[in-house]
Structure 1
Amino acid sequence: MRKPILFFLPALLVLLLSGTRQEQPLVKEGATLQKLADGFAFTEGPISDAAGNVYFTDQPNNRILKWSTDGQLSTYLEPSGRANGMYIDHKGNLWVCADEKNELWLIDKNKNVKVLLKDYQGKLFNGPNDLWVRRDGGAYFTDPFYNRPYWQGRSNQPEQDAQAVYFLAKDHKTLKRVVDDLKQPNGIVGTPDGKTLYVADIGASKTYAYRINKDGSLSDRRLFCDMGSDGMTLDNRGNLYLTNRAGVTVFSPQGQQILNIPTGEGWTANVCFGGKNHQTLFITASKSFYSIDMNVKGVNP
């Protein structure tokens, strides 16, 4: 692992919109974007546990890595089902979109793997990509189609008739498709109160907000912003963080762009808050892993 390489964020990146209430900037004064590690094939799926340790995937190399709160990098699980998006629930279980066989996994604290889902109505998923887990244990996940060269024994054409969003109820058995009219859903995250779900249609360069109903269904879709995203997270002010070629772009709860953090990489895949105070933003971007200190905190798990 190389020593951290520092990138200074120009002051102009913090865009305080005229006519809005002035708040403390999102990025801590004097903070720098740090490259914590590199040399990976493609980084994805960062998520923190309650202590602030961050787990992320080196997806093509089929492993889950751990960045501890004391700055140590280690391999957490290898092989990992070619893990992509991940989430840690309030019980400490690690949920994994296992791309190798298009499955959804649940990994407990002892690293025991349980395959929760393999298909929908007898047909293979396109490839579960990203997910968010509610406090009651129900989970939403996106299922876009990206043809993988390592798939064995399946066609390079999707079996599902839609690139959809699914809801798995808290019994971990009842599955239903809740969105089927997006071009290519990808990033997904819900608000801490469990009332709103954000879903990025990366294929259409849009992000939508939905009302979450008691039965898990979604309603009242509204366009949140004209930008798609690979991954997502929220801070304790309700700001939404999106990732794509532009780096990390932050939108206010009203859908106004308020910050951009370029990584200098060809693709910025995902983002989460972690660290001892959950006040550090961790970013997976192409072959590298970054962080930057913030004035806001994350809201998950």
Structure 2
Amino acid sequence: MKKGKRHFFTTFLFSTMILSISAQKTPLIADGAEITLVASDYKFTEGPAVDKEGNVFFTDQPNDRIIKWSVVDGSVSVFMEPSGRANGLYFDRQGNLVACADEKFQLWRIDPKKNVTVLVDGFEGKNLNGPNDLWIDLKGGTYFTDPFYKRDYWERTEKDIQNERVYYLTPDMDKIKIVANDFERPNGIVGSPDGKILYVSDIGAKKTYSYSISEDGYLTNKQLFADMGSDGMTLDNQGNVYLTGNGVTVFNSMGEQIQHIPIDQKWTANVTFGGKDQKTLFITAMNSLYTLQMNVHGVTHLN
């Protein structure tokens, strides 16, 4: 075979192989899966978080309660009421539920017996704007967003802290650091399972950014990830990032949109993976909780 033909043939085989691999790539959503309404007895659902067993906890924020979806039988029940008007939730490695207690501008740790420890109660002598969403890293440190959403149940009407930031509570729970300060309104937040990348949504600017996480918890190398804000977000085992708002929009690790999951609601607030194998996508949207069976699965520090 002549060199030119050999080169063409080799290129053809390589291209065909790449196309074949691409065509065989497993779809994100399980074959035949449809959006399932789990429950719709709420005012506004938020903050889904999964524990080690696969149970999913979420908030009915205006009604001041945390709801539990059971991995055993798929039932939903009230876990805690009142709940500090909890918004975002996340489990630590000790099995405690860490909550953004919006009513008190605090960060709470709720143990399995529902005992509450206040982890964060202000910054430099001032009330926080209102912790909204959080992510716990491999060391046990907590990143949380602090936007200002004026609530009718607050006595105050103005900010104590003008900047809407991302903070980091150190693993020893001893220090709070400002790690990002240049947002219009930060909201959704999630980190990669290796603890190297943090994704933060600036919902006010309709952007989502990625950061490199330094050894000391500080953030560097801010990069635009997607021209879309997000109320809440999660990751799957392929590194795809799930953003919310208009349904659920999925981006690969390069920031390219690869999927849109429509939800028949005006607003999708948050999303996480749960269930025994973490292959069920849980979606909080307005007054409801939905699920969708997936081929991919979630990744947390609990895995």
Deviation at 1:135, TM superposition (A): 1.8
Alpha-carbon distance in 1 for matches of 2:260, 2:20: 19
Deviation at 1:45, TM superposition (A): 0.3
Which residue does 1:196 correspond to in 2? Answer: 197
Is 1:89 the equivalent of 2:74? no
Alpha-carbon distance in 1 for matches of 2:257, 2:201: 15
Letter in 1 for 2:113: N
Which residue does 1:217 correspond to in 2? Answer: 218
Letter in 2 for 1:287: N
Alpha-carbon distance in 2 for matches of 1:118, 1:19: 55
Letter in 2 for 1:194: G
Matches within 5 A, 1:123-142: 123-142=126-145
Alpha-carbon distance in 2 for matches of 1:277, 1:220: 34
Which residue does 1:228 correspond to in 2? Answer: 229
Which residue does 2:80 correspond to in 1? Answer: 77
Q: Structure 1 stretches of 5 or more lacking a match?
A: 1-17
User: Conserved in 2, the CA contact under 8 Å of 1:89 and 1:135?
Assistant: no
Deviation at 1:21, TM superposition (A): 3.3
Deviation at 1:161, TM superposition (A): 2.1
Instruction: Rate the CA distance shift 1:43–1:19 in 2: closer, same or farther, 3 A.
Output: farther
Give the % identical residues.
Answer: 57
Which residue does 1:278 correspond to in 2? Answer: 278
Find the partner of 1:42 among 19, 41, 44: 44
Alpha-carbon distance in 2 for matches of 1:24, 1:91: 34
- Per-residue CA deviations over 1:29-67 (Å, capped at 9, x if unaligned) read 000100000021000000111111000000000000000
Alpha-carbon distance in 2 for matches of 1:132, 1:78: 23
Which residue does 2:14 correspond to in 1? Answer: none
Find the partner of 1:109 among 108, 112, 134: 112
Which residue does 1:253 correspond to in 2? Answer: 253
Secondary structure of the structure 1 residue equivalent to 2:62 = helix
Q: Which has the higher strand share?
A: 1
- Per-residue CA deviations over 1:207-250 (Å, capped at 9, x if unaligned) read 00000001110000000010000001000000000000x11000
Is 1:162 the equivalent of 2:163? yes
Instruction: Rate the CA distance shift 1:178–1:149 in 2: closer, same or farther, 3 A.
Output: same
Find the partner of 2:124 among 103, 121, 131: 121
User: Conserved in 2, the CA contact under 8 Å of 1:225 and 1:255?
Assistant: yes
Is 1:174 the equivalent of 2:152? no
Alpha-carbon distance in 2 for matches of 1:39, 1:97: 22
Alpha-carbon distance in 2 for matches of 1:231, 1:38: 19
Alpha-carbon distance in 2 for matches of 1:242, 1:200: 9
Which residue does 2:32 correspond to in 1? Answer: 30
Q: Which has the higher helix share?
A: 2
Find the partner of 2:68 among 66, 69, 73: 66
Secondary structure of the structure 2 residue equivalent to 1:120 = coil
Instruction: Specify the structure having the higher radius of gyration (Cα).
Output: 2
The number of aligned residues is 281
Q: Superposition RMSD on alpha carbons, in Å?
A: 1.2
TM-score by length of 1: 0.92
Instruction: List structure 1 runs of 4+ shifted beyond 3 angstroms.
Output: 18-22
Which residue does 2:9 correspond to in 1? Answer: none
Alpha-carbon distance in 1 for matches of 2:81, 2:35: 28
Deviation at 1:19, TM superposition (A): 11
